[in-house]
């Protein structure tokens, strides 16, 4: 009885040793792979590019629409590869949600009507005008945006509905958060042309050098002091019918 117990414990001890040796061998393989990974990192070095936007406002006014600000990076000397997307802008509460939708060229944007009444959607953007007609609650129509640019979007029924689809020719972009901060992750090291866009300001363009660790603290100043809100025309180029109640 005792002899057989000793045999079993010897066997399990051998099994245990084999297991330990295997774990050690696996550990060496993991270490080798880790060393290889560390060596290859500089080739694909990329980091976040981030900063803060300030918008100059008229005296006594504060910025409440930082989330409409868009920042994007165009690499200097090489083409930016982009991936087409499928995005949505809802029509909800007589508003486009989100007010600014950022996509890459060739992307499709669908506009679901989430209100219990009909909406129309159109844009008169030069080179990218479209009209999806009028459609009812619970339905959606979409269109694709081939060219880079800012497309104002409107509803032909409700004059106060307005928004933008902003098409950026790059895969490095961000929209600011409500406090004006922005962050573009995973930007490869190199020289870039930075663009900052906001519907109430002229576009700001500056060149930046992104290091292997990225580039923090890029502060941008936009100027909305000269902005004047003009009533847009309907899709027929006429004034909206003032008798339509909201
Ligand atoms: Cu509408």
pLDDT digits (tens, 9 = 90+) for 231-244: 888 988 888 887 66
Count of structural domains, the chain: 2
23 plus 137 within the same structural domain: no
C-alpha dist (Å) from residue 127 to 9, 124, 218, 233? 82, 8, 33, 18
* Pairing verdict, β 107-112 and 204-210: unpaired
Between the CA of 117 and the centroid of ligand 1 the distance, in Å, is 8
229 in a domain, yes or no? no
87 in a domain, yes or no? yes
CB neighbours of residue 105 within 10 Å: 17
pLDDT of res. 81 = 86
26 in a domain, yes or no? yes
pLDDT of res. 228 = 87
CATH for 129:
2.60.40.420
Any residues with CB less than 8 A from the CB of 47 and at least 6 apart, and which? 186, 187, 189, 210, 211, 212, 213, 214, 215
Between the CA of 94 and the centroid of ligand 1 the distance, in Å, is 6
pLDDT of residue 32 exceeding 50, the answer is no
Between the CA of 231 and the centroid of ligand 1 the distance, in Å, is 15
pLDDT of residue 152 exceeding 50, the answer is yes
121 plus 25 within the same structural domain: no
92 plus 176 within the same structural domain: yes
Between the CA of 157 and the centroid of ligand 1 the distance, in Å, is 5
Between the CA of 147 and the centroid of ligand 1 the distance, in Å, is 25
176 plus 133 within the same structural domain: yes
Across the chain, mean pLDDT equals 86
231 in a domain, yes or no? no
pLDDT digits (tens, 9 = 90+) for 79-108: 888 999 999 999 999 999 999 999 999 999
Between the CA of 113 and the centroid of ligand 1 the distance, in Å, is 9
What are residue 35's phi and psi, to 5 degrees? -65, -40
Between the CA of 129 and the centroid of ligand 1 the distance, in Å, is 18
Between the CA of 161 and the centroid of ligand 1 the distance, in Å, is 6
pLDDT of residue 39 exceeding 50, the answer is no
pLDDT of res. 192 = 97
pLDDT of res. 63 = 96
69 plus 184 within the same structural domain: yes
Between the CA of 224 and the centroid of ligand 1 the distance, in Å, is 27
27 plus 91 within the same structural domain: no
30 plus 61 within the same structural domain: no
pLDDT digits (tens, 9 = 90+) for 157-209: 999 999 999 999 999 999 999 999 999 999 999 999 999 999 999 999 999 99
Q: 151 has which bridge partners?
A: 165
135 plus 170 within the same structural domain: yes
237 in a domain, yes or no? no
pLDDT digits (tens, 9 = 90+) for 126-151: 889 999 999 999 999 999 999 999 99
165 plus 101 within the same structural domain: yes
Residue 17 is part of which domain span?
Answer: 2-42
16 plus 68 within the same structural domain: no
71 plus 152 within the same structural domain: yes
129 in a domain, yes or no? yes
Q: Tell me the C-alpha distance between 121 and 157, whole Å.
A: 9
245 in a domain, yes or no? no
pTM, to two decimals: 0.79
38 plus 147 within the same structural domain: no
Q: Looking at mean pLDDT, say which of 11-15, 30-34, 119-123 comes out highest.
A: 119-123
Contact 80, 172 (CB under 8 A): yes
């Amino acid at each position: 009885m005792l002899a057989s117990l000793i045999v079993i414990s010897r066997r399990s001890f051998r099994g245990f040793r084999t297991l330990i040796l295997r774990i050690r061998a696996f550990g060496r393989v993991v270490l080798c792979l880790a060393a290889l990974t560390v060596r290859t990192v500089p080739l694909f070095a990329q980091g976040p590019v981030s900063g803060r936007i300030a918008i100059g406002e008229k005296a006594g006014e504060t910025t409440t629409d930082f989330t409409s600000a868009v920042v994007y990076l165009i690499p200097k000397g090489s083409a930016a590869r982009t991936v087409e997307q499928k995005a949505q802008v809802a029509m909800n509460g007589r508003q486009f949600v989100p007010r600014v939708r950022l996509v890459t060229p060739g992307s499709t944007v669908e506009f679901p009507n989430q209100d219990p009444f009909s909406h129309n959607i159109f844009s008169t953007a030069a080179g990218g005008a479209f009209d999806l007609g009028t459609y009812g609650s619970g339905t959606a129509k979409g269109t694709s945006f081939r060219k880079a640019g800012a497309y104002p979007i409107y509803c032909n029924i409700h004059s106060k509905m307005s928004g933008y689809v902003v098409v950026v020719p790059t895969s490095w972009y961000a929209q600011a958060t409500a406090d004006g901060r922005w962050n573009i992750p995973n930007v490869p090291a190199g020289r870039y042309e930075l663009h900052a866009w906001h519907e109430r300001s002229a576009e700001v363009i500056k060149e930046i050098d992104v290091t292997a660790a990225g580039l923090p603290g890029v502060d941008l100043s936009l100027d909305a002091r000269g902005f004047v809100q003009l009533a847009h025309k309907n899709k027929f180029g006429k004034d909206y019918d003032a008798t339509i109640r909201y």
